[in-house]
């Protein structure tokens, strides 16, 4: 996602992540950083840059260091330009943990107060969508003769929330062991191959979202998608 920040504007390419809320870019001075094509953003060169006090409402839940907000976060067109004043964005000064990253930072699209969607709010009716295209990584498609693999929860609750996290910033899809075994059983019938099991969270990664128009409605808490030729409609 291309954005421009600061005055005069600096154009940067950021990765999008629906699993987090903080939007940040690598900034000078940077003690630990990963390589990027564009120069690091220099706050001193921007007349509209201001540090945010840690007691400011938008950053209240972040930690505090020298009275400034501090964050520490980890990670598992037909559009129009929007100019936003007083937008809270993280200054990344220690980012060496990221490897093989080709963007200048992260656009947080989560539900927290600091996310791009929350800060835009009514301007976009708390809705956004994206469409991911295929990349040449030798992908394989497995057919199960249209057989649906149901998700069987161990617990019955009255909660209205869903049972899976949708994360555009994570490549793989993670499933409960029981559901994973059901899928493997169907794969074995077709291929007689063995697989691997790894317990973990339920997560719908971006590879499974390719060629779907994916829409998030944070106000009504709805997630929807439909098959789309994202390459054709990009």
Angstrom distance (rounded) from CA 105 to CA 16: 9
Residue 164, pLDDT > 50, answer yes
CATH 2.40.70 fits 2-124, yes or no: yes
Q: What is the mean pLDDT of residues 49-70?
A: 71
Angstrom distance (rounded) from CA 170 to CA 177: 19
Helix (H) or strand (E) holding 227: strand 222-227
Question: What percentage of the chain exceeds 70 in pLDDT?
Answer: 56
Question: What are the residue ranges of CATH 2.40.70 in the chain?
Answer: 2-124
Q: What is the pLDDT of residues 196-228, one digit of tens each?
A: 556 666 677 777 888 888 888 878 888 888 888
* DSSP labels, 7-70: TTTEEEE-EEETT----EEEBSS-SB----SSPPB-GGG-TT----BTTSGGGTTSEEETTEEE
Q: What is the pLDDT of residues 116-132, one digit of tens each?
A: 777 777 777 777 777 77
pLDDT, position 180: 74
Report strand pairing: 212-217 vs 203-204.
unpaired
pLDDT, position 138: 39
Beta bridge partners, 108, equal: 17
Residue 47, pLDDT > 80, answer yes
Whether the upstream peptide bond of residue 204 has omega within 30° of 0, thus cis, is no
pLDDT, position 217: 85
Is residue 214 within 8 Å of 129, Cβ to Cβ?
yes
Angstrom distance (rounded) from CA 212 to CA 230: 7
Local confidence band at 81 (pLDDT 50, 70, 90 cut-offs): very low
Q: Which backbone phi and psi does 135 adopt, to 5 degrees?
A: -120, 155
Cβ-based burial of 175 (10 A; exposed 0-12, middle 13-18, buried ≥19): buried
């Amino acid at each position: 996602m291309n954005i421009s920040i600061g005055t005069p504007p600096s154009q940067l390419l950021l990765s999008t992540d629906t699993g987090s809320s903080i939007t940040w870019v690598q900034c000078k001075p940077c003690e630990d950083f990963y390589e990027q094509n564009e120069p690091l953003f220099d706050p001193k060169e921007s007349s509209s840059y201001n540090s945010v006090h840690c007691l400011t409402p938008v950053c209240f839940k972040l930690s505090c260091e020298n009275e400034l907000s501090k964050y520490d976060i980890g990670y598992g067109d037909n559009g129009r330009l929007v100019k936003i004043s007083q937008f809270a964005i993280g200054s990344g000064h220690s980012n060496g943990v990221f490897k093989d990253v080709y963007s200048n930072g992260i656009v947080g699209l989560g539900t927290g107060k600091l996310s791009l969607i929350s800060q835009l709010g009514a301007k976009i009716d708390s809705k956004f969508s994206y469409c991911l295209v295929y990349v040449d990584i030798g992908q394989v498609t497995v057919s199960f003769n249209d057989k649906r693999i149901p998700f069987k929860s161990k617990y019955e609750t009255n909660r209205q929330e869903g049972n899976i996290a949708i994360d555009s910033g994570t490549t793989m899809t993670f499933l409960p062991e029981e559901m994973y075994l059901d899928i493997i059983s169907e794969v074995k019938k077709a291929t007689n191959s063995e697989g691997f099991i790894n317990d973990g969270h339920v997560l719908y990664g971006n590879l499974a979202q390719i060629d779907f128009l994916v829409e998030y409605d944070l106000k009504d808490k709805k997630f929807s998608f439909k098959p789309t030729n994202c390459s054709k409609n990009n």
